[in-house]
Every structure is written in C-alpha cells, then in structure tokens.
C-alpha cells in the first residue's frame, strides 16, 4: 500500500510540474507576442521615409497597383467630396454623399511606415460640411478632429501608418449615421513591409444599407428616411452603392486557374454582412482585415465599420453569385453581385448535371411525368376579379422571390414581368413556360437573360389565375387566361 501511495504521489507531483511549466511557457509566449506587436508599432513609428509619392486612387471595383517592395514614402492623398444624384435601381434616384464621386469612396493603398499627407476637398456646390474618420489612423477621431471642411474649402492633415491591415474610412460629421447612410465610406489598405503576396486579380467591394422614404423600387428621387434608419429597417442592401453595382457590365471577372483577392468592406451604417460567394470556398480570409488568417471558409462575417480580405483560386468556369447570405437582402434588397469566370471546363472539379430522372416517393407503380398534375382539379367559373385575387395569392407563394413584389425581377438574373414584351407577345408561350419551365437565353425588354425557371406544380386553374393576375398588373396587356387555354397547352 505504501509503494502504491508513493507512486501516486510522484505522478501527482509530475502533473503539477508539467502544468506549471506549460503555464510559464504560455505566459512567456504571450509576453513575447505582446512585445513583438509593440515593437512592430514602435518600429513603424521610427521608419524614415525616403521619397515623395502621389497616391493612386481608384473607383470600385478597381484597386491601385500593389505596393510591393517599395520603401516607406511621404504619400500625398487628394480626395474630393461630392454630393450628387445617382441611381439606386432602375428609375429610383438618390442623392449620394461621396468621397471621390463613388460609393464606396476611392480605394487608398499605402504601406506600413508611410507618412500620409491627406488633403480633403469639399466641392463648392455641396450643401454640407464633412470630415473623414480613418480607422487606419492613430489619432483623435481617426483624423475627424482635424479634417472638418466646409463647402468650397479644403483641409490638410497628416498621419503615419503604424499597423498593417484593411481599414474603413467614413464621414464622422453629425449626425454621423446619416452621413454614412448616404454613402460616405471607403477602404484604405496598409500593406506590410514587403507587400502582400502576389495574386492574379484584385477587386474592391463594399456593402452598405440604405433607407429611403419610398419602398424598394418606388420611382423618382427618394430622400433619406431617418425613422427607418433608427429602426434599422433598410429598403436597400447593396454592393458598391446600388443594386446593379456588381452585376452585368459591372460584374468582376477572372480566368480559370487564377487566384482572386477581394478587399471587402462594410460601411453599414447598421447591418453586419454575411459575405459569401456561391460556388466558391475562400482559401484564406484575413479576419476583420487584420493579421489573423482563417482557411477554407464558406461565409465570413464583416461588422459594420469593418473589413476582410478574402482569397480563392477559381477552378472552373461559370458565373459565381456574390451575396450577403442574410439571404433576403440578396434576392429582395439588392446585395447581389457576379464573378464571371471564363476558361476551360474542369470535370475533375465540377462535372455539372450527369443524369436526370423521375423521383417517385410514392413507389415505382406511379408512372406520371413530373409536369403532369398529381391531383384532380375542379375548374371553377370565376369572375376576372376573382381570378386576379386568387392569382395574386398564387404569385405570392410561388413567384414572388424571383420576380419580386412589383414584377420587376432581379437585374441580370430573373427577367421582369412588368411591361414584359416577352409575355405580352405570346400568351401560349407564357402558359407553356409555367407548365414546362424554361432554360436558356431569352430577351425581355431588350435585355438578355440566361437563367433557369423550373416547371411549376400548379393545376390548370392556378396557372390561369396567376397569369391573369400578371397580365392585369404592372402595365401588361390585360389578357384573361382560362383553364381551358392552359389545358390546350399541356
């Protein structure tokens, strides 16, 4: 018994010794890391600049050329504030307040140790004073305290870049939220000494939430709505300032085999972004724009007033949809973009559809085709008014997500039903589309679309009702579709 007790005592002492050494090692590492961080900051403060440069500024989605291995410089930045009208979505105008004439503002690229001489100009035609708070600045208000500038004036302040990272800048003039909500934000990159590792393509994307007096899609010039902003109920959540900021001709591009780096910011003013590229996985994410690297990430959170750098290699061609994965924002409020990748197909990575069959959960004795009606229907003698009412209900539960509440569709993805020449030209074609679905390129109102509409599991009466509702809404030709017309097209 004594021997066992002694052995147990020795084991316990060894455990205590190992735990103590581990804690000492952790403490030492922690102190070393803190010391290293402080030394880096102190070292950056002491870097002497060797030359003078004019900063290259770019509009989204473009970024200036990489810093590379250049030495620290006296970097001059000239940025103009412009208050100007722009288009939020087709027919919807908004008065944006901007840094450099775009939302987000001009991209600024620096390196650790740069002495930045920053000149902020407020255009004489502007109505309000503005300033700039740069999250890359170590100093009062991030520069806001030194940069308040009235219309028709300019102000210059200076700062030294001490820590690498991707940082937001924004206006901080009261009411701060209103200035940000009107588009006054952008990104400044501080590269580490020696620069970031090279990649094939780099792009600039920034999310923002907008609050208008009118609802989504309501035409005309829409003023800012403070009440909606206070309740954090945006009408629009968009990339690069408007609903079409990253689709169609504004889409970003790459070739198969290239590595893409996205500098992604979130101006807010209120919402956190769940940033995601459908069909891609981020190889590397600089979490919150800093030194911490996360790998193999599906979706990354970007806080309001924060940023992230995401990198991934594109292995197969196609259109990859960029979204805020708080998904109603993407398909109903505008937070949607496109990365168009061209190149050779890569079946080792993605082979596409390899077969299509009939799914019969009831068992093999049922031999109906998928587009046949699985239930007996009762065709009612409805009035047109009743058809429109019932058709609206069918539309809300079946068609709303893609074609939207006013039939406006989603630019570049789902065609509009409102004032649709495609629908109004051929009612039988419209009926067959609902019955059988549609795939491939079509032209609607002189705009090409190439998407997929699945066949709808609706009976003849439901199809007649929903098409009657569509044809009698949003400026269409008021055709009345009957169940008999649907039956003839089956």
- Binding-site residues, in ranges, read 130, 135, 170-171, 179, 184, 325
Q: Supply angle C-alpha 304, 308, 314, rounded to 5.
A: 135
Distance, CA of 143 to CA of 169 (rounded, Å): 10
Largest distance between two CA atoms of the chain: 100
Strands 293-297 and 236-239: unpaired
Q: Which residues are annotated as a binding site for Cu cation?
A: 130, 135, 170-171, 179, 184, 325
Instruction: Give residues with Cβ within 8 angstroms of 234, minimum separation 6.
Output: 209, 210, 211, 228, 270, 271, 333
Distance, CA of 248 to CA of 90 (rounded, Å): 14
Tokens 């068609």 correspond to: 399
Cα Rg, the chain, nearest whole Å: 29
CA distances from 113 to 54, 63, 117, 192 (A): 16, 20, 13, 9
Tokens 């990575």 correspond to: 349
Six-digit token string for 442: 């079509």
CA distances from 135 to 176, 236, 272, 285 (A): 15, 25, 17, 20
Inter-residue contact 339 to 253 (CB < 8 Å): yes
Q: Strand ranges (DSSP E) for 271-335?
A: 273-277, 282-286, 293-297, 299-302, 306-313, 318-324
Distance, CA of 244 to CA of 60 (rounded, Å): 13
Inter-residue contact 361 to 375 (CB < 8 Å): no
Angle between helices 427-436 and 460-471 (to 10 degrees): 130
Rounded to 5 degrees, φ, ψ at 289 are 75, 10
């Amino acid at each position: 018994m004594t021997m066992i007790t002694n052995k147990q005592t020795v084991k316990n002492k060894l455990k205590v010794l190992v735990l103590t050494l581990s804690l000492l090692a952790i403490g030492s590492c922690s102190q070393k890391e803190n010391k290293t961080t402080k030394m880096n900051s102190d070292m950056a403060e002491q870097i002497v600049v060797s030359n003078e440069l004019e900063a290259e500024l770019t509009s989204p989605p473009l970024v200036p050329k990489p810093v590379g291995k250049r030495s620290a410089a006296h970097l001059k930045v000239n940025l103009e504030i412009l208050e100007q009208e722009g288009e939020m979505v087709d027919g919807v105008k908004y008065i944006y307040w901007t840094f450099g004439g775009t939302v987000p503002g001009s991209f600024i690229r620096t390196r650790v140790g740069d002495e930045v001489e920053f000149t902020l100009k407020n255009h004489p035609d502007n109505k309000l004073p503005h300033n700039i708070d740069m999250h890359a600045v170590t100093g009062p208000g991030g520069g806001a305290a030194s940069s308040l500038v009235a219309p028709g004036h300019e102000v210059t302040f200076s700062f030294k870049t001490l820590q690498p990272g991707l940082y937001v800048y924004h206006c901080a003039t009261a009411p701060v939220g209103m200035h940000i909500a009107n588009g006054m934000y952008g990104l400044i990159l501080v590269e580490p000494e020696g620069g970031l590792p090279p990649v094939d393509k780099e792009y600039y994307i920034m999310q923002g939430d907008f609050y208008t007096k009118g609802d989504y899609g309501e035409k005309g010039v829409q003023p800012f709505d403070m009440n909606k902003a206070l309740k954090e109920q945006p009408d629009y959540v968009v990339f690069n300032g408007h609903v079409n900021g990253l689709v169609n001709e504004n889409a970003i591009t790459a070739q198969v085999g290239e590595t893409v780096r996205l500098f992604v910011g979130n101006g807010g003013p209120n919402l956190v972004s769940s940033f995601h590229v459908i069909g891609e996985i981020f190889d590397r994410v600089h979490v919150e724009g800093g030194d911490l690297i996360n790998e193999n990430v599906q979706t990354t959170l970007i806080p309001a007033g924060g940023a992230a750098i995401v990198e991934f290699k594109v292995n197969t061609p196609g259109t990859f949809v960029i979204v805020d994965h708080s998904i109603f924002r993407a398909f109903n409020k505008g937070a949607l973009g496109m990365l168009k990748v061209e190149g050779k197909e890569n079946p080792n990575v993605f082979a596409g559809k390899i077969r299509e069959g009939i799914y019969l959960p009831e068992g093999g004795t049922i031999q109906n085709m998928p587009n046949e009606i699985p239930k007996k229907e009762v065709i009612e003698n409805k009035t047109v008014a009743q058809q429109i009412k019932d058709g609206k209900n069918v539309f809300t539960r079946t068609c709303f997500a893609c074609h939207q509440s006013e039939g406006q569709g989603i630019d570049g993805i789902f065609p509009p039903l409102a004032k649709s020449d495609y629908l109004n030209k051929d009612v039988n074609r419209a009926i067959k589309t609902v019955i059988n679905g549609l795939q491939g390129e079509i032209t609607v109102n002189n705009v090409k679309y190439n998407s997929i509409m699945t066949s709808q599991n609706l009976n003849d009466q439901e199809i007649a009702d929903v098409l009657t509702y569509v044809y009698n809404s949003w400026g269409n030709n008021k055709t009345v579709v009957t169940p008999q017309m649907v039956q003839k097209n089956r």
